[in-house]
Structure 1
Amino acid sequence: MSLKPYINTSFLFMGLMYTALFHSVWLISTQFEIIASTVSWYLPAGVRFAAFMLLPLRSWPMLLFSEKLTHFVLFHPGGILDNTAFLSGSLGWYLVHLLLSPALLCTSVYIFRRWFKAPYISNINSTLATLGVGLIISVVLGAVFIGRRAIELQTDITVFFPILFDFSLGDFVGLIVLCPLLFVLYDREHLHRVHTTLYWIIGAWLFLLLLSSYAYSHGTNISYQVKYLAVFPALFLSYRYAVTGSALSCLLVGVTAFVVASQSDLSPLEHQFYIIALCVSCLILGASVNHAEQMNKALRDKNEALEVAVNNAQALSSKLVNLQEDERKRLSRDLHDDFGHRIVDLKLQLSLNASNINQDSLLNKIDALYEAMKKSLGSLRPSGIDTLPIEAVIQGSTILSTLKNSHIDYGFEVTGLPYSFTSQQKIHIYRIIQEAVTNSIKYADATRLTIEINYAGSTSTFCVVDNGKGIPAQFSGSSSEHSSSTNHHTSHTPTLHTPTLGLLSMKERAKLIEGSIHIDTSATSGTSVCLTVPTP
């Protein structure tokens, strides 16, 4: 297997940055030990968790290599931070630190990342899941690290579990303080909500902490009051700025507890539970607010789309009424001006002396009357639509004759085994093809047009493809003149232009037969209008 995909400059830079941040916050964490060489607020756990949650999977080997190599450099005998507690050199230590713990960490995060995506704290479900997997990893890694030491020192089981509890809690505190902010900074999706008020609140919070330290240095301890006053800005930031505010609150809550702990002799557990309780509350509140905003935005978009759809439906309804009246007017005119005159002429011919009747002329007039009637009725409902296959109906209809009269070279192709559609399906398919051909004749200036019918098992596709100049954006409903795609199964945000009533009619007819319309149009390659109909 090639190692090239895992070793490159980008991944090396990620590894170095990760290692630098990891060991920087480690130096801070060592100031709060509750047992020898076991810190109560293990901030590096948050850096590690965030790095493996956010960075590409292929960067993981370089992250682990950089972390472990730096660990050896710092803690080996004679190193900068020579400490055998963090580098015992035993076989168990190597197995745990170089094999078992990385395997457990990577496996847990990999499984989680298959279900959730960054920033991981954008809604309640992902927030609770992220906190849950973070807690699990803290306990599992704690069991491995403390377990190895307990086996080597033969620690009693009654002592092991309290130590494991303290160790895991320290990891989880480090995770919940740092990870949310790292998530937000990496994703940057929520940073647009940052306003001046946020900076004022953060500044006031930090000023209060400085005031507490100043008062403590002069013999007045207000750390208890500061600790609980911090609850209000934390909750306000989470409510006002959603994910960004909750992430900043978690960091500031950790800083507050850090300052208070340096000014009091309270048990570390009290500070830990304070951090966890307040941070979890802030994260859930921020995620809830963000989730509500997302739902409101989606609702607004759907309302706008619904408004456009209602307007289109009203316009289509109005157009259908006008078309109906126009059709009635045309029929009335045809019956009066064409059929009426032809019938009067026939009556005059029949009223003449039988010997004077020109039978050939009379037959020609009857044939002409029949053809005119057939053409007029055919425009209302294509001939054979109830009995013939749809491809036969199209071949015998006025669609092809119209193309011929428009001097457009056309082709008609049928592939696959024909499917027997119902009369209702066939009339909608016919009208969609008729409208697509009419649009090509009117707008495309095409010289070549092909009607393609493809029967492919579970679906049938009817395409009208021309080599014209494409459908203009103001007619297609697309904000771009190069492409327009519509599927009735997918919701779209409102487009810049409203489609023409002809295209709306095509889409509505497609919905009636549970089909979908797909339109590809370009000024250089022409237009393709495809109707896909399921064939159960």
Structure 2
Amino acid sequence: MHCAYRVEQTPPGLALDQRQSDRNDTEEWMRMERWKDARQLSFRIYPYGLAIALIYALAYWAAREASVDQFFLPAGIRIAALLICPYRYWLYLLFGEYCYFAYARYPMVEKYGMEWVVLGSALLMPAVMLIVHLHRKLMSSETDIWLISVAAASTAAVTSLNLGLSHVLWSTPPVTALDAKLTRFLVGDFIGILTIAPLALLWSKRHTDSAVTKGHVLPTSACLILMIMLGVLAHLIPADSPATKTDLLLLMALPAVALTCMHGWRGAAISVPLWSLIVRLTMPSTGVAESFDPAAFSVQQNLAVVGIALLAVGSCLSYYYRRYRSTDQDGRNAISLARNTHIAAEMDLRTRALDIRKLGDGLEHSLDDLSDWLDAQGHQDLASSLRRVSAVHSRKFREQVTMVYPTSLEHVGLYLALQTGGIHEAWKDTDRLMLHRLGGDPCQLSIGLQLATYRTIAEAVSLLLQHEPGQIHISARCGRFRRDRGILVAVALLDTRRHLSDGTMTLALERLTGRTLAYGGTVQCRRNRIRILLLEPRPDAETAQHFRFPVHCAATHTR
């Protein structure tokens, strides 16, 4: 029995229409979801941001009350706030400025018109924000000279907007001539920025290294006191002597330059604002923004030029000083690593020398037991011969061990270690070397420095024995050099008329410089001698701790 099942198929055209309908429904649903999300967007308001807006508005109001056209502190407040606050709080700064302008300029609507009040208040902060934002990449550079560019661009933008909008939107144009107004606004805004912005940037970098060296505390205090005294004298000058007052204010450039030379950009960031504030305090004012003091304005023009120069020079000084410190620190780290490497190598040799000595002691003890057994068995001649051979080889074995590591140096010091042990016997066998004029106390030096000196002397003597004929003598002197301690060694040919060959000098520099650099020293090859200097900042604080036993060393003075 056969059963047939019939499958009905959907026509191709109908299936295509159905898929298109499903796709349209999906797109419509996605659009609805995006529309819902857009409607549900909310802006979070931070109380800390509102506090910033309030503080900024109050600071702007206070700065405006203490300012005149030729000394406009709000321009500096605006730049300082943008430099200190991160991006997420810029909207709150904008809100704070708008609140101040709403309070200060709303009564001016009838006199100057709503267009000027709105546009003149709304465009200033966004323009400065754009300028600061464009300089953000430069702010991460190693120099702070970009602050001058920010100050100049902000001054030009704000002054152009203020004067342009006032001449276009005011029903009655300003009475003051455009060129005079432009000069006052440019100088006033720029001086205001130089007064506040460097201090804000200095505060933002307060966590960086800004320690004042002990040698600069007194000169720095003297410069600051001198600037304040000159300001007080200028304030006491009568109004009928403007030339004397101007001269006193200009003399403040000298301590400002001195502070910049001592502290770089930080000195300029303190001296320039202090100079500007003192000029403002000595400026007579009627309390009206349009009040003008020609003598102070002349000083302000010089202050603007000198301030730019000081900030630029101070920035360059700080940059190169940081580079010098970085390079110097890298050099110190390299020297410390090299020194630790040499000490680790010496410790390894010391361990090996002690192991070899233990092995030699064991062999010597075994030979002694064998000689005693032979003596007990009646072989006295054989036992005596074995003892003599054992004593000779034991002495040579110990001399070779001291060539690996001079353990006697840890107890009797460098000079006696050079006069005993295997190295002394090796030099004695050549019949070409003698020690001469060993002065000072080497035990005041660290063990690491004495070991480096020991190896360096051995290498220098080996070079002269191999490549130069004639007698050789060694002289050394331990002592202090400024804040360091060290030793000066001279390995020379006894014949002063004979000079070292060029090949010997080259080999000496190549083989001996490594150890001397690890201890801040030098190698010099002159005429018939090799001079070696090794130094260390502290006698035993750093290197003695690498050894596991106390060091007992007697002072030696050998002539």
TM-score (norm 2): 0.48
Q: Computing the radius of gyration over CA atoms, which structure comes out larger, 1 or 2?
A: 2
TM-score (norm 1): 0.50
